[in-house]
Structure 1
Amino acid sequence: MNDHPPSQTDSRSALDRTNWVNFATTVLARDGLAGVRIESLARELNVTKGSFYWHFRDRQALLNAIIAEWKTARLHELQLEAPRTPAEAEAQIHAIIDRYSTRPDADRLLLELAIRDWARRDSHVANIVEQVDVARQARATRLFEMAGFAPEEARNRALLMFTHVFGLSMMMFEHSISEDLAARHEAIARLICRK
């Protein structure tokens, strides 16, 4: 049994690359890109900067890892089981609207907004965000096609769906309509899917 507290060397070896990326991603969502600074991350993690440099060449290497992980995670989410019937496709559309609108994950929405803000200033990040958006749009379009819509109509409805769910995350009106938010989203989902 070890009766002494871990040394800084022990802390450094206990923090792996994934720990740094995950924590920096949390800070990005919380404080924006300006908050992702090596010194402040190390201070919050209670380790030396040497722990950071054990895993990353510099801040840019960490930022590259954050955006790469975000892209991988978002594209992985799109690997849903393909629907076999129009009813299953429509159910998946409703589930997407419910997930992002009715039961939003606040941390996830903050990260999405922070990534998009970052993309406004960084062409590499903007390119990655565009790749994710194109993949999301393509997946949603396929769902609408499976639900029985012609290709052009499916593309339009997919865009409308994402405009709804992501646009809503930028609006601050929780007190004015929170009492019937789920009902409103269900009604919007029905409108988007109406033939």
Structure 2
Amino acid sequence: MIEQSGKANGIRRKRSWVRTPPPEHTPSTEDWVRIAREMLISEGIVAVKIDRLAKVAGVTRGGFYWRFKSRDELLEALIEDWREWNTTPMLRVLQSDAPPKDRMRGLAELYIEGRGFSEAYDSAVRAWAALSPPIAEIVRAVDGIRLQALEELFRDVGFDADEAMIRARITYFHQVGYYAIGMQETAEDRWALVDRYTAVLFSNLMK
């Protein structure tokens, strides 16, 4: 980065900084977010510090500032990464044109196979939210988006708004609780229950 200053019409201009291209081999923005994500998952948000990130990246603190103005800017990128990583694939499945049962099975695949959803990442962000009201607000908003997509799925099955809302909550709260309490089951065991879960959630047992 280069400092610029000078005079114009006899008035001294305030100093400003012009961002120059980073040196070769400087970690990319995506690299910094990935390192922060891994640190958040393994050690929690308090561990996500510039010095520690730079050490893992193998550069000095200066290498960090080629990509971010501050730790806060990195954390903004990190929460956006979580939102994209753990929500966009879910919405893509739930809002597709596939039959409802296929969409439910696609959702199960995201959770069970971990392709398009990371339970560890979700848990780490929820732990972060417990320490930060602004992050908690973002998490609540994302939960609302996910629940809305599930409600639409159940309305497509034929349930009214109230029934769809209840079944969406059962589905979503069950899954969040599943990894929050650390359930230990093999993927094979979980897949064996998917059709049963779907049959129960798609049926109206009150009739």
**TM-score higher than 0.5:** yes
Distance 1:169 1:75, change over 3 A: closer
In the aligned structure 1, how far is the partner of 2:97 from the partner of 2:58? Answer: 51
Corresponding residue of 2:202: 193
Which deviations, in whole Å up to 9, do the C-alpha atoms of 1:50-98 show, x marking residues without a partner? Answer: 000111122111111111222244443214474557xx02321232134
Query: What pairs up with 1:1-195 in 2 under 5 angstroms?
Result: 9-12=23-26, 15-77=27-89, 78-80=91-93, 82=95, 84=97, 88-100=99-111, 102-104=112-114, 108-174=118-184, 180-195=189-204
C-alpha RMSD over aligned residues: 2.5
Structure 1: runs of 5 or more not aligned: 1-7
Question: Which is worse superposed, 132-141 or 73-82?
Answer: 73-82
Which deviations, in whole Å up to 9, do the C-alpha atoms of 1:138-172 show, x marking residues without a partner? Answer: 01100100011111101110111111222111233
TM-score of the aligned structures, taking structure 1 as reference length: 0.81
Between Structure 1 and Structure 2, how many residues are aligned?
182
Distance 1:74 1:170, change over 3 A: closer
Distance 1:167 1:16, change over 3 A: same
The alignment partner of 1:174 has SS state of coil
Structure 2: runs of 5 or more not aligned: 1-21
Structure 1 residue 133 displacement after superposition: 0.6
Q: Which has the higher helix share?
A: 1
In the aligned structure 2, how far is the partner of 1:180 from the partner of 1:21? Answer: 34
In the aligned structure 1, how far is the partner of 2:121 from the partner of 2:168? Answer: 22
Corresponding residue of 2:3: none
Question: Which is worse superposed, 126-135 or 73-82?
Answer: 73-82
1:97 touches 1:161 (CA, 8 Å); kept in 2? no
2:151 touches 2:167 (CA, 8 Å); kept in 1? yes
Structure 1 residue 131 displacement after superposition: 1.3
- Aligned residue identity for 2:200: L
In the aligned structure 2, how far is the partner of 1:91 from the partner of 1:40? Answer: 44
- The structure showing larger relative contact order (alpha-carbon pairs under 8 Å, at least 6 residues apart) is 1
The alignment partner of 1:159 has SS state of helix
In the aligned structure 1, how far is the partner of 2:143 from the partner of 2:122? Answer: 12
